[in-house]
Amino acid sequence: MLKMCRKVFIFFCVAFFLASLSSLAISGIDRSKKSGSYKELDLFADALAVIQAQYADDTKPKDLIYGAMAGMLDHLDPHSQFLPPEEYEELKVETEGKFGGIGIEITVKDNLVTVITPIEDTPAWEAGLQTNDRIVKIDDVVIRNFTLNEAVKKLRGKPGAEVNVVIWREKENKLHSYKIKRAIIAIKDIKEAKILEDHIAYLKLVEFREDTPKELDRALKGLNKLGMDSLVLDLRNNPGGLLDMAIATCEMFLPKGALIVSIKGRDTKQNAEYKANLKTPYAVMPLVLLVNEGSASGSEIVAGALQDNQRAIILGVTTFGKGSVQTVFPLKDGSALKLTTSRYFTPKGISIHQKGITPDIVVGSKEPVDVVKEAVSKDDAKAYEAIFEGVEDKKLKSESGPRPLQEFHKEAHVSDPALERAVDILKSLKIYKSFVK
């Protein structure tokens, strides 16, 4: 019986594997380079045959294959994922700027599900979640050793349904519990565009989506009509988005031919350099760029390009440090592989990944816990075990939201030191220019 199961599974696995590889070959991957993988399929088939013959309950071959593929991708890095058909469809909807959930971008960092940033004006933002909050519990499930995919599934749900999220805030060394009502998340690329004073404009860019270049161009033209002669571009808490849209944003502020970003991977054929290809009226306009620890990926590409090309003063705190490129490879059955294929490098060849962009002028600071940093350096896998002790039994008072915006991050709404500093810099430039005239 076991031999028969093994033969059936070898046939099934080889057929499935060939179908997957043929799908990838269409995308430009040389299948001949993968021939060594076939040797390992025999071992894989043995394991599947044992499961089919000996496991206590009935199993479906497709479920086992999907599980194995998910395991392969999870083994690589936190940003590589296997996407079953329904999740691939959700991803396509998400990149269009509308999806269900609580409104946070997350990653896995130090083996913990970590908030990159809450998206502004979403339930998570209004409830009070912050960059670098570590998610330790969702409803009744302790989020220990969860993959990114698993955490996203737990956070998403029917709009209007509540989810209880327990986080550990590193800078306070404290647990917080939030009861958050899920909603359809419709992201506005540009949150705010206005003239502040003395012809200094302010533009808040929330994320890089399909319509970002078009919306940005429209907003800049509007500000131009109002007399804009300098700009504060705010990318704080902007988690990134689509690479092409981040590059298009850079083109609005760089002279034609300027290097924006280079991408390098193991396959040198995929290496690429992206340069500004537009003639733009904003290429010499005085510019200050605001960033913080919630600025990631596409935001870091923009910050790195403008900094290395000496086109903007970067002001704030060091950015998040997500400098890897994920490519989606669709498979024939409607599923897909989201795979880290390369890394971003700034025009000066500096890697963004896990380092972030260091601002020219630091305003505000991160508050790392020294005890935690020491623990991480000793053993990442065990560093945060203390966080989970008692989480299952602790009854935390829920900090349910949404809270009125005037109460949320009250100090930031009363005063914005980074924005005030940016305006002062642009004013100073004007004064200096009047001297040299």
pLDDT, greater one: 313 or 25? 313
CA 414 to chain centre: 29
| Cα gap 68→211, rounded to integer Å | 37
Residues 20/331, Cβ–Cβ less than 8 Å: yes
**Domain boundaries along the sequence of the chain:** 2-59, 98-186+371-403, 190-325+340-365+416-436
Residues 311/253, Cβ–Cβ less than 8 Å: yes
User: What is the model's pLDDT at position 404?
Assistant: 44
Token couple for 271: 């290496």
* Catalytic residue status for 378: no
Work out the angle at residue 351's Cα, subtended by the Cα atoms of residues 361 and 117, and round it to the nearest 5 degrees. Answer: 65
Tell me the range of 40-44, 352-356, 361-365, 411-415 where mean pLDDT is highest: 352-356
* Catalytic residue status for 234: no
Residue 12 has pLDDT above 80, yes or no: no
The DSSP code for 78 is T
| Cα gap 278→398, rounded to integer Å | 50
Q: Cβ contacts of residue 139 below 8 Å, gap of 6+?
A: 154, 163, 164
- In this prediction the pTM is 0.74
- Domain 98-186+371-403: top CATH class: mainly beta
- For the chain, what percent of residues have pLDDT higher than 70? 78
Catalytic residue among 20, 297, 299, 342: 297
Residues 114/369, Cβ–Cβ less than 8 Å: no
Note the pLDDT tens digit of each residue in 312-346: 999 999 999 999 888 899 999 999 999 999 999 99
- Domain 190-325+340-365+416-436: top CATH class: alpha beta
The DSSP code for 253 is T
Token couple for 410: 């009250």
* The one-letter amino acid at 160: G
* Catalytic residue status for 322: yes
Per DSSP, the three-state class of 83 is strand
pLDDT band, residue 359 (cuts 50/70/90): very high
pLDDT band, residue 121 (cuts 50/70/90): confident
Residues 328/336, Cβ–Cβ less than 8 Å: yes
For the chain, the residue count is 437
Lowest mean pLDDT among 11-20, 77-86, 328-337: 11-20
Catalytic residue among 322, 324, 338, 342: 322
pLDDT band, residue 172 (cuts 50/70/90): confident
User: What is the model's pLDDT at position 272?
Assistant: 94
| Cα gap 310→202, rounded to integer Å | 20
Catalytic residue among 74, 133, 189, 308: 308
Residue 394 has pLDDT above 60, yes or no: no
Note the pLDDT tens digit of each residue in 186-205: 778 899 999 999 999 999 99
